[in-house]
Amino acid sequence: MRWRRKPLARPYVLRFDWLVLLSALGVTGMSLPYMYSASPQHFQKQLVWVALGVAAMLLMLAVDYRTLLRYAYDIYGGALALLILVLLLPQVRGARSWIALPGLGFNIQPTELMKFALVLVLAKNLMHRETQSTLRGLVAPFVLTLIPMALILKQPDLGSAILLPPLLFAVVFASGANAFHLISIALAGAASTVPMWMFVMKQYQKNRILAFLSPEKYEAREAYQLIMSLIAIGSGSLLGEGLGNGTLTELDLLPDKHTDFIFGVIAEEGGFVAVGILISLYLLLMLGGFRVASARKEPGGRLIATGCAALLGSQALVNIGVVTALLPTTGITLPLVSYGGSSMIISFCLIGLLLNVGASQPLVLARESFTGKRLIDY
């Protein structure tokens, strides 16, 4: 009898999904010159955030994602406690969204941590369930999402709150939920916009929507940011005005140019070519993320990968939609690009989770739909 040698497993690094890694690093790398142009005084600190983000990504690679799943509810509970704590603190710029760390000169944003925690807890909740194909089986994941969403709206932070439903729908659909049920819930959610307008939304949030519908009536107030963004994008044309030569950027006429509206700076100074490359990199990042998800037969990993890809993709889509006047103005960062420590670090954590799932070799496989009875305890 002839014995065959079992092939050696590829080294951990070689099992990375390089499309995800290179796309993420490409997005951040190409944005740094425009960040310097938009706000030189913030550039050095942005380099620190990027370095900390990369370190967080490496940390995610060092910890088996199944260990994180084991503590998913604990991480979720900690993030929820921070969301409650931040509501007890004084307002900063009209909102309660940040917790200052004394002596460090650094504020953390619990909302960003909750995005990371929600990916884990939804995957943990759905990975071994059989009931998600029924409406009753969707109650738990929806409650897990709606509680932090309500707390985020209370801050108020509408921009971050609207990112949670796409994450929820993507994960529950990937877990085997009935598409008809999800469409019915989405339609019911759309119908709830009327009572939300009447009883939940703040007046400035209503004004932003009205300014989106009729910018000429609000051009001196709520629509000013939107109009300046469109002028910046239009002036960029094909090749842009050149790095450091953007008229609105250099004259400081584009509000929040280094945070929520950094895409406008890239469009003005880099033109259609630069924004085309940036959007292509985001598409490649999402493609790589969903490729990781589709390649996993293990339920927890597939749901985590789906959640990470959906969250990063929807956040980029909403930010670009706002800056290009396709969506009403709301405060939301461009992932891996905008200035900000919490956003940058959590974005790289999600990239690290994606790479972790793609490179891991689970010992236990589930059926193709990965629904069914528990095979292993995480």
Ordered DSSP codes for 331-362: ----TTTSS-HHHHHHHHHHHHHHHHHHH---
Q: Is the peptide bond before 156 cis (omega within 30 degrees of 0)?
A: yes
Q: In percent, how much of the chain has pLDDT > 90? A: 60
- Look up residue 377 and give its two tokens: 């305890």
Quick check: 319 and 263 in contact, CB under 8 A?
yes
pLDDT tens-digit profile of 46-94? 999 999 999 999 999 999 999 999 999 999 999 999 999 999 988 776 7
The DSSP annotation for 93-122 comes to: TTB---EEETTTTEEE-HHHHHHHHHHHHH
Q: Both ends of the chain: CA-CA distance in Å?
A: 40
Higher per-residue confidence, 219 vs 274: 274
User: HSE (CB half, 13 Å, CA atoms) of 35?
Assistant: 23
pLDDT tens-digit profile of 208-249? 788 788 777 776 677 888 889 999 999 999 999 999 999 999
Predicted confidence at residue 3, as pLDDT, reads 47
Euclidean distance between CA atoms 253 and 268, whole angstroms: 12
Answer whether residue 372 shows pLDDT above 50.
no
pLDDT tens-digit profile of 287-345? 999 999 999 888 999 999 999 999 999 999 999 999 998 888 888 999 999 998 999 99
Under the banding of pLDDT at 50, 70 and 90, the label for residue 8 is very low
All structural domains of the chain with their residue ranges: 24-359
Answer whether residue 131 shows pLDDT above 90.
no
Q: Please name which of 142, 85, 154 lies closest in space to residue 113, comparing C-alpha atoms.
A: 85
Mean pLDDT of 113-130: 92
Q: What does residue 96 show for φ and ψ, rounded to 5 degrees? A: -110, 85
Q: Compute how many other C-beta atoms are within 10 angstroms of the C-beta atom of residue 329.
A: 25
Predicted confidence at residue 1, as pLDDT, reads 43
Instruction: Give burial (CB, 10 Å; 0-12/13-18/19+) of 113.
Output: buried
Q: Dmax of the chain from CA atoms?
A: 85
pLDDT tens-digit profile of 190-201? 888 878 777 777
Predicted confidence at residue 124, as pLDDT, reads 95
